[in-house]
A and B are shown apart, each in its own frame.
Chain A
Amino acid sequence: MASVADREPLWVRLFLISIAVVFLVVVLLLPLAAVFAEAFRQGWQAYTEALVEPDAWSALRLTLLVAAIAVPLNLVFGVAAAWAIARFEFRGKSLLVTLIDLPFSVSPVISGLIYVLVYGLHGWFGEWLDARGLQVIFAVPGIVLATVFVTFPFVARELIPLLQEQGSQEEEAALSLGASGWTMFWRVTLPNIRWGLLYGVLLCNARAMGEFGAVSVVSGHIRGETNTLPLHVEILYNEYNFVAAFAVASLLALLALITLVIKTFLEWRHAGELAAARRH
């Protein structure tokens, strides 16, 4: 059965397809290829040297540490917020929904700046923190805070429509059969949202490792101490150290590719359970 699109003349079809392909190549594939091409320009050895260099190594460790703190936090926050929003009626619910979306609508630079204004040396709590020898801004806690803020919506946004679509009847059934709240959550709620949750965590993690703007404001760019991978790429690039910059960038690109592959696999394998979330 021929669809309407199939009945267009051949040249129209080829023309439209070429536009799409050219666009994809120019905007996505070429830059991605360029990252790896530049990274390996001076061979495998230069590439590995750039990666094992102490500052790069420390940036990688910091990035992993920040993600290891921010992602579990947002996993818990996200599930809790999504559950509250999908299951209960309360005053201020629409405000909470708006707040969850805030990190998406605000420029990442602002997200960083608010923490400087609150916790920086000249900020509201700056003196109080300084007097106790606690440094938030230009230190790891600031980077974690900014990352948590920026990546907050991913898990919640993924789960809210999923929970709403599934309704509360299975949960009610579990309770009426004598299950405690915890049993209900672990045996009924969680299994029903697991793939959506994994999907949300994946996106959250990708953003946590790749975030630049907000982290850049609070980090202070201290080499070997408060540099994350994206910040390290920028520093190397500004120093005209292209091979090292692209080598480190290739790590991030690799992370993006792996995320995409798992994401595609999830969408293919568990389409039904993710459908609700992808409608928006």
Chain B
Amino acid sequence: MNLTLNNLSKHFGAVKAVDDISLSIPSGELVALLGPSGSGKTTLLRIVGGLEAADCGQVLYAGEDTTRWPIQKRRAGFVFQNYALFRNMTVFENIAFGLRAQPRKQRPNAVELKRRVAELLYLIRLPDLAERYPSQLSGGQQQRVALARALAIEPRLLLLDEPFGALDAQVRKELRRWVRQVHDQTGLTTLFVTHDQDEALELADRVVVMREGRIEQIGTPDEIFEAPATRFVHEFVGESSALPVDVRGGRVSYGGQQLDIDAQLADGPAHLLLRPQHLAPADTGIVVRVDAARRVGPRRRIEAVTSAGDRLECEVDSRFETERGQTLHLQPTRWRLYSRDTAGSPLT
């Protein structure tokens, strides 16, 4: 089912949680809403699921305006951040809840119900835990039960709020792969909220980066990481250092020094954004003094300071040896330039 959001806004008191958001998601896509806390991503997800009413704007399910629909009619499978399993019910009863709650005509009979729940238990690979209570399950198991419960109602789309937030690293990794698998099997349009850029980039077909209730960028993981639209996105999706530079006639200068970088940017002050992996020691380039050099796994991480006092981080082969106080030239191999006066740029 394709999902369309038109000009959604939502205030909490004076705070604009969601600010005029429009978005279109084709059927079957797996989309991440990525942003720091307070960026409005969870509120947006709750509006889509009908748990929150937007102040204005529309939510279209397959072209049908659901804005005034009661939550029950939407059939959005919602998985809550802390799973929200019914603590007084067994795993079986949790999964069966949505089936039993259906209108009498659609409600499956006892045999059918058992079969459906057993199917879902098999899908989440917990066939033996049907009679357990939520408190007797690990976090990862609870998460899977929550997903099975949402899938039981044959939802039109799947909404996941920080699905891996409370799990430890190993379980997260496993579950990520599994969620991707379930998505590919069911073909459900899926939205998930996360503040973890690795999770978003690894799992999603498309990533929506949000900031202060607005969409900062929409793109594939490659687009988001390789061509961040704003300085905010650049800094949010990966490590970066920023240098204040001047652009004049397509040339970039930093602290009076001309850099070997060409700019497709209007003249004026700008920010040069560099990832640690995209800076290499060379004979020419930005002059820095080494502040610290540490081994990070197979690589060496150099923290350096320019003569103007800006900090740069650079990652090199561990065989490259340097020490504190040494002067180096760092040559950018890849970079992004953001004009300093456009929205989203001045961020310190």
Report A's interface with B, CB cutoff 8 A: 169-170, 172-180, 183, 187-188, 191-192
Q: Is B50 an interface position by the 8 A CB rule?
A: yes
Can you identify 30 A-B contacts, CB atoms within 8 angstroms?
A: A169-B80, A170-B85, A170-B86, A170-B87, A172-B51, A172-B84, A173-B149, A174-B86, A174-B97, A175-B71, A176-B49, A176-B74, A177-B97, A177-B101, A177-B152, A177-B153, A178-B72, A178-B101, A179-B72, A179-B97, A179-B101, A180-B72, A180-B101, A183-B101, A187-B86, A188-B86, A188-B88, A191-B88, A192-B87, A192-B88
The 8 A CB mask of B58-100 against A (1 = contact, 0 = none) is 0000000000000110111110101011111000000001100
How many angstroms between the C-alpha atoms of A169 and B152 in the bound complex?
18
Which of B50, B87, B88, B102 is in CB contact (< 8 Å) with A176? B50
Q: A176-B50, A178-B101 are in contact. Are A170 and B72 (CB under 8 A)?
A: no
In the assembled complex, the CB of A185 is this many whole angstroms from the nearest CB of chain B, namely 13
In the assembled complex, the CB of A171 is this many whole angstroms from the nearest CB of chain B, namely 9
In the assembled complex, the CB of A89 is this many whole angstroms from the nearest CB of chain B, namely 10
Report B252-306 residues with CB < 8 Å from chain A CB: none
* Nearest A-chain residue to B102, judged by Cβ: A178
Q: Which residues of A contact B72 (CB under 8 A)?
A: 175-176, 178-180
The answer to whether A178 and B51 have CB atoms under 8 Å apart is no
* Nearest A-chain residue to B161, judged by Cβ: A169
Q: A173-B80, A183-B101 are in contact. Are A178 and B75 (CB under 8 A)?
A: yes
The answer to whether B88 and A178 have CB atoms under 8 Å apart is no
The answer to whether A173 and B75 have CB atoms under 8 Å apart is no
Report B82-131 residues with CB < 8 Å from chain A CB: 82, 84-88, 97-98, 101-102
Q: Which residues of B contact A172 (CB under 8 A)?
A: 51, 78, 80, 84
In the assembled complex, the CB of B82 is this many whole angstroms from the nearest CB of chain A, namely 7
The listed residue with most B CB atoms (<10 A of its CB), out of A177, A180, A183, A188, is: A177
Q: A178-B72, A178-B75, A179-B72 are in contact. Are A173 and B101 (CB under 8 A)?
A: no
In the assembled complex, the CB of B136 is this many whole angstroms from the nearest CB of chain A, namely 14
Q: Which residues of A contact B82 (CB under 8 A)?
A: 169
In the assembled complex, the CB of B178 is this many whole angstroms from the nearest CB of chain A, namely 21
Report B's interface with A, CB cutoff 8 A: 49-51, 71-72, 74-78, 80, 82, 84-88, 97-98, 101-102, 149-150, 152-153
* Nearest B-chain residue to A166, judged by Cβ: B87
* Nearest B-chain residue to A191, judged by Cβ: B88
Q: Which residues of A contact B88 (CB under 8 A)?
A: 188, 191-192
Q: Which residues of A contact B50 (CB under 8 A)?
A: 176
Q: Which residues of A contact B97 (CB under 8 A)?
A: 174, 177, 179, 187
How many angstroms between the C-alpha atoms of A170 and B83 in the bound complex?
9
- For the complex with contacts A170-B87, A176-B50, 13 further pairs of A-B residues with Cβ separation under 8 Å are A169-B82, A170-B84, A172-B80, A173-B85, A176-B49, A176-B51, A176-B71, A176-B78, A177-B98, A177-B149, A180-B72, A192-B87, A192-B88
Q: Which residues of B contact A191 (CB under 8 A)?
A: 88
* Nearest A-chain residue to B93, judged by Cβ: A187
Q: Which residues of B contact A179 (CB under 8 A)?
A: 72, 97-98, 101
Q: Which residues of A contact B85 (CB under 8 A)?
A: 170, 173
Q: Which residues of A contact B51 (CB under 8 A)?
A: 172, 175-176
Q: Which residues of B contact A192 (CB under 8 A)?
A: 87-88
* Nearest A-chain residue to B70, judged by Cβ: A175
* Nearest B-chain residue to A190, judged by Cβ: B88
In the assembled complex, the CB of B164 is this many whole angstroms from the nearest CB of chain A, namely 17
* Nearest B-chain residue to A169, judged by Cβ: B84
Q: Which residues of A contact B80 (CB under 8 A)?
A: 169, 172-173
Q: Which residues of B contact A173 (CB under 8 A)?
A: 78, 80, 84-86, 149
* Nearest A-chain residue to B77, judged by Cβ: A176
In the assembled complex, the CB of A167 is this many whole angstroms from the nearest CB of chain B, namely 8
How many angstroms between the C-alpha atoms of A14 and B82 in the bound complex?
49
How many angstroms between the C-alpha atoms of A8 and B17 in the bound complex?
58
In the assembled complex, the CB of A88 is this many whole angstroms from the nearest CB of chain B, namely 13
How many angstroms between the C-alpha atoms of A187 and B97 in the bound complex?
9
How many angstroms between the C-alpha atoms of A163 and B88 in the bound complex?
15
Q: Which residues of A contact B87 (CB under 8 A)?
A: 170, 192
Q: Which residues of A contact B75 (CB under 8 A)?
A: 178
In the assembled complex, the CB of B184 is this many whole angstroms from the nearest CB of chain A, namely 23
Which of B49, B84, B86, B98 is in CB contact (< 8 Å) with A178? B98
How many angstroms between the C-alpha atoms of A175 and B97 in the bound complex?
11
